[in-house]
A and B are shown apart, each in its own frame.
Chain A
Amino acid sequence: MINPVGTIVIALILGIVFGMSIRGEYFNKKTYATIFGFALFIDIFMGSFPYYTWDIFVELPVSGIFLAAMVGLFTGKAFRER
């Protein structure tokens, strides 16, 4: 990638692409709460994996790619619902 930020951007784009193919009928507030809880746990557990993005979140050691992919999935799904 051009730099570590590039991977975050590509993760966001891939998340949006996959999120746009997800149907909305199985998701409600409880589902979103479950996803948020799981995602937070996994993100903290993964730490700065993969390691070349750690200089971005040096104060907040979470997986930047995982976070970006999750945000992209939600964004893509929101696009689809519109």
Chain B
Amino acid sequence: MKFQQSQEMRNLIAAIFVGIFSYFIIKALTDFDIVPGVSYIYNLRGPLIAPNMITVILFDWRGYDTLGEAFILITAVLTTGILFGRGVLGGDVSEKDSTPIRPSTIVQKVFAAPLVFIIVAFGVVITLGGHITPGGGFQGGSVIATAFFLSVVVYGFKKNVFNLSHNSLETLEGVGALIYLCLGLVGLGLSGYYLYNVGADLYPYLGVGDTATRLFSYPDSTNAGIIPYLNIGIALKVLSGFCTIITVLWGAEKK
């Protein structure tokens, strides 16, 4: 009974969010004005702020690029789950499956745990510096996921260094997706463009007030607006996606 009620509540919340999201999408489609759209302003003003057009594109079209990447990742996780994940995601990876495929050497066992720490910290650096250095949420999330891979390969699935169940991975992915969606909706609500880079120096040229600018900006000549926050959301999503894939493939290997 309780399960049914919670399911109904989840469905209701999901329906409300779908409704809100649909409203903004329809609003954006009906209000869409391609000339002089965002690209025109970016092309005109972008090079005055960023060093070159590549940086402008990296900063301000990166959100859309990452949206596509996220869809590819979702498709990859779904496909892997459908092909190899029969019964695995229910949490029934048995005790027999907890051992590594091949016994690890003493060097691997000694150095894997410290390396996990280093790799996770490095992944955080790549994620948070993504808007100004070669990196970003996808790359940072992938690097953190390699720490999970390493510990699974060396210590086995059940005894790996991370204590990430399928439920916690689901939560992590949900939080990442929610951060991304909400930031996109902020841009949609304030400028009429989904994933508009609110807070970047280009924002005042659209003639909108600067409240949001203050919220998302920091005193830096290469102000990136919402991109760093998008990177955090994407890193969580990519990390959980890759970890889900390795969970599924590990179960498939043993069955």
Give which listed residue, B112, B129, B161, B168, contacts A65 with CB less than 8 A.
Answer: B129
The CB with the most chain B CB atoms within 10 A, among A7, A22, A49, A66, is that of A22
Main secondary structure of the interface of A (DSSP, over half): helix
B18 CB to nearest chain A CB (Å): 28
Residues of chain B lying within 8 A (CB to CB) of residue A42: 118, 122
Complex Cα spacing A10 to B163, Å: 22
Complex Cα spacing A18 to B110, Å: 21
Residues of chain A lying within 8 A (CB to CB) of residue B218: 1-4, 6
CB neighbors of B among A67-82 (8 A) = 69-70, 73
B211 CB to nearest chain A CB (Å): 14
**B219 and A73: CB pair below 8 A?**
no
CB neighbors of A among B114-138 (8 A) = 114-118, 120-122, 124-125, 127-129, 132-133, 135
Main secondary structure of the interface of B (DSSP, over half): helix
B232 at the interface (CB under 8 A from A): yes
B131-159 interface mask toward A, CB cutoff 8 Å, 1 = contact, 0 = none?
Answer: 01101000000001000000000010001
Q: How many A residues touch the partner, as a band?
A: 20 to 34
**B124 and A65: CB pair below 8 A?**
yes
Complex Cα spacing A57 to B127, Å: 20
Q: How many B residues touch the partner, as a band?
A: 35 or more
Residues of chain A lying within 8 A (CB to CB) of residue B118: 35, 38-39, 42
A38-65 interface mask toward B, CB cutoff 8 Å, 1 = contact, 0 = none?
Answer: 1100100010011110000000000101
Q: List 29 A-B residue pairs with CB atoms under 8 Å apart, sorted by A's residue number.
A: A1-B128, A4-B218, A4-B220, A6-B218, A7-B228, A11-B125, A14-B128, A15-B124, A21-B162, A25-B159, A26-B113, A26-B155, A26-B161, A31-B110, A31-B113, A34-B114, A35-B114, A38-B114, A39-B121, A42-B118, A49-B125, A50-B129, A51-B132, A52-B129, A52-B132, A65-B124, A66-B124, A69-B124, A73-B120
The 4 closest A-B pairs by CB, nearest first: A50-B129, A69-B121, A69-B124, A26-B113
Given contacts A14-B124, A51-B133, A69-B124, 10 further A-B contacts (CB under 8 A): A2-B217, A6-B218, A10-B232, A23-B161, A31-B113, A38-B114, A39-B118, A49-B129, A50-B135, A52-B132
